[in-house]
Amino acid sequence: MRAFNFTLAQAAALASRIMVKYVLFVCTGNICRSPMALGLFRRLVGNRKEIEADAAGVHAVRGQLPSVHAIDVCRQRGVDISSLRSQPLTATLVERATHIFAMTGSHLETIHLLFPQSVEKTFLLREFEEPGATCWRDLPDPIGMGRHVYEECADSIEKALPSVLAFVEETELAVPRYAGASANPRSTMENMPHHLESQAGDRPQQGSLGGPLRKVDPEIAEAVAEEERRQRENIELIASENFTSRAVMEAQGSCLTNKYAEGYPGKRWYGGCENVDVVEQLGIDRALKLFGGDHVNVQPHSGAQANMAVYFSVLKPGDRILTMNLAHGGHLTHGHPANFSGKLYQVTQYGVSEQTEQIDYDALAKQAEEVRPQLITAGASAYPRFIDFPRLRQIADSVEAMLFIDMAHIAGLVAGGEHPSPVPHAHFVTTTTHKSLRGPRGGIVICQEQFAKAIDSSVFPGVQGGPLMHVIAAKAVCFHEALQPGFRGYQRQVVLNAKALAAGVAKHGFRIVSGGTDNHLMLVDLRPKEINGK
């Protein structure tokens, strides 16, 4: 057996070589369009070492200067391409490239014909301009035409390049041959002989596993793009539609979506869970650091399932629960007749005072004494005031009931120190991870140690099967972001904005329910204006 000895420097150099993305622009003679694209792309990329670029022509003669107009038009844009020389497209260039961008459909077909192995990584330069576009967009050849045609060509290239760069950044690296054999099943499937791929129209169909959404399913891509545009162009005032960070979305869109992992860290029913164990444990540890408490389960798919897990862990059908009325600001899962919680348990509801429009804790205490519930539920989806958690615990203890707080709407404010925390006072606390917490759509349960085993069993296998590991990863990222100092400033600004908006609305003659807000919500009484809110 032959031994290979690598120094750390050599290993680093090899790793660097493997991780670089090589972008190749291809036209006909490599003296007009592709040199302009190369020069403008290099300017866009700047000094980034992880992306390199080159250009070639399918019928190029080696060593020719770019055309005079091409040089002049680029120079006016602050780019010097006068040192570039033409070169023909070769197998070496194709093999080296991770992304090949052709100027026209004819170039694309020629590349596929000459180098079938390039099909998965060859694209039209302009096909990424508008997500969801279904037509292939050629970039006309300006050779022999006037300067204004070159100007138009350069304009089109500059317009296309930002989306080209974004595509290069977001796609997986096509591993060069010198990187060695791969055990990656996706790589294996993507490198199957291309004669097995079906043909569609004038262009060989790209393998769907390796293609971006805009190529695989243009209709869905267009809907996604339109939704992104809607979100960016409108002011969003729905608390449950807060914006997540790029890091949260990146984690949720990762390969963790492929992993099935029934069970809990270190106790899975499937093999190969060592990496997702790390992810889930980070989520658990960060949630505990953020909110406190004895135990946390980060697997619930939603707030409703987190609430269900709490109910199922300590209640039997027919048990009594005392909850906040949905019409007074509560939540569907707090005993509404249409919900499982209203069907399985004997529900008594409390509400707000008609005079103060805030929770009447004295009246609630009297109800608790009369009902003697096994569980008191608090937390709201439309209540703009602080909730007195110590008083609720006092009431629960007085009737030997357990206290369950659903803090889904205020979790971000709690994490940011802008709202009192229910965790020290409640037996159970649930929350969603979106809304004010600014994470992915999902839920968690925080509980006292004595209920840990019951909660875990209630989540799995009680109300769920396999956890969504990609969402749990996004939750972990969300908790990490909420632990940063800037998150407190963000939550403080949320409260200030809500108070300012409430004051502004009041100045225009609208009545604010309860007289103001302590959190991110405000309720406006539209009845005097004869507006029904629809």
Catalytically active residues are: 260, 262, 406, 432, 435, 441
| CA-wise closest residue to 466 among 300, 353, 328 | 300
How far, in Å, CA of 252 to CA of 474, rounded? 5
CB of 517 closer than 8 Å to CB of 386: no
The SS3 of residue 234 is: coil
CA distances from 273 to 184, 249, 259, 269, 430 (A): 17, 22, 8, 9, 26
Residue matched to tokens 């869970």: 273
CB of 345 closer than 8 Å to CB of 318: yes
- List Cβ neighbours of 318 (8 Å cut-off, separation of 6 or more): 344, 345, 346
| CA-wise closest residue to 508 among 493, 528, 488, 484 | 528
Q: Within 10 Å of residue 21's Cβ, how many Cβ atoms?
A: 18
How far, in Å, CA of 20 to CA of 51, rounded? 6
Q: Indicate the residue type of 335.
A: G
Tell me the three-class secondary structure of 311-363, residue by residue: HHHHCCCCCEEEEECHHHCCCCCCCCCCCHHHHHCEEEEECECCCCCCECHHH
The SS3 of residue 138 is: coil
How far, in Å, CA of 127 to CA of 392, rounded? 60
| CA-wise closest residue to 201 among 119, 105, 101, 121 | 105
Residue matched to tokens 């897990």: 309
440: cis peptide before it, omega within 30°?
no
CB of 85 closer than 8 Å to CB of 64: yes
